[in-house]
Amino acid sequence: MSNLIVEGEVRLGEIQGLMDDGMVGKKVEFSLESDYPVFELGVEGYMLPYLAGENNFTIGVGELVQQVSIPQPESFAWSVPVQIQPDQETRIWIEVEQTINPKQAGVGEDERDLSFVWLKLVVKQANVKECLRQGNELVRAGNWDEAINKFRQGVDIEPEFVYNYFNLGKALAAKGDLDGAISYYQQGLAHKPDSGWGYYELGKLWEAQGNGEEAMKNYQRAQDCVPGWGLVERKIGE
């Protein structure tokens, strides 16, 4: 596997068809598993300069099969949207139409039937930190609905990662859903009960709901977590 560069956190099965020097013949195939959902898969490589014209590929990702034409000679980068669920073993394969035997073609001493050098497998995953990053970008763009969906996706992927709960609560509050916002802040604090910021934001939500008693309870908890925090002290002193 050392001859295959992988961008993404995945587990690969035995790679068949990838030679020790990184060259590929007629077909290469392997299996892939990921701890996170995979939403896009791509390959990057370089066609051998001895092949004339374009080379046609057949690429399979599970049940998805696509035909791809690569102009020759040049590097190529191909990608396709996929839906690979966590821990779902998926077969990946690439088969090319043209190969060349450099020695028989009089362009070298290599007697193998070759097609291209495979440089990189690019796996784009919906991991929890990526959901947080994309969700925050959507918030900055004012796209609250998509941000809410992205934060929810992060919560589903890894429930212990509390920041998607908090950001989801903040986004729901911006949309006017205070009940939903309070619920997600409470869920996040159940996973991280030492978050002074979480209690402070939850206190503000209860205050917006008109429930001063619950607001004060959460401000007090925030103060317990972060003694001397000026924002909280001012809230308690009001």
Is the domain of 134 the same as that of 120?
Answer: no
Location of structure tokens 């001012």:
234
Count of structural domains, the chain:
2
Q: Are 158 and 116 within one domain?
A: no
Report the C-alpha gap between 57 and 97 in whole angstroms.
6
Same domain, 120 and 67: yes
> Which structural domain, as residue segments, surrounds residue 15?
5-125
Please list, in sequence order, all residues whose beta carbon lies within 8 angstroms of the beta carbon of residue 27, skipping any fewer than 6 positions away: 16, 17, 93, 94, 95, 96
User: Which pTM was predicted?
Assistant: 0.58
In the predicted model, residues of the chain with pLDDT beneath 70 are 1-2, 52, 72-73
Distance CA 46, CA 81 (A): 22
Q: Tell me what pLDDT residue 167 has.
A: 93
Domain check: are 110 and 157 in the same one?
A: no
Task: Specify the CATH number for the domain of residue 91.
Answer: 2.60.120
Q: E strands along the chain, which residues?
A: 5-7, 10-12, 16-18, 23-34, 38-47, 55-61, 64-70, 75-84, 90-96, 116-125
**pLDDT value at position 118?**
82
Domain boundary among 125, 143, 171: 125
Q: Are strands 90-96 and 16-18 parallel, antiparallel or unpaired?
A: unpaired
Q: What is the pLDDT of residue 237?
A: 84
- Residue 113 sits in the same domain as residue 180: no
Count how many residues are written for the chain.
238
pLDDT tens digits for range 100-155: 898 998 988 999 999 888 878 998 877 888 888 889 999 999 999 999 999 998 89
CATH assignment of the domain containing 233: 1.25.40.10
pLDDT at 52: 66
Query: What pLDDT does 157 receive?
Result: 82
Q: Is there a single domain that holds both residue 26 and residue 121?
A: yes
pLDDT at res. 180: 96
Cα separation, 213 vs 210, whole angstroms: 9
- Which amino acid appears at position 95 of this protein? E
Q: Are residues 147 and 225 in the same domain?
A: yes
For residue 1, the model assigns a pLDDT of 44
**Domain end position, chosen among 93, 108, 125:** 125
Of the three residues 125, 157, 174, the one that is the final residue of a domain is 125
| 114 and 150 in a common domain | no
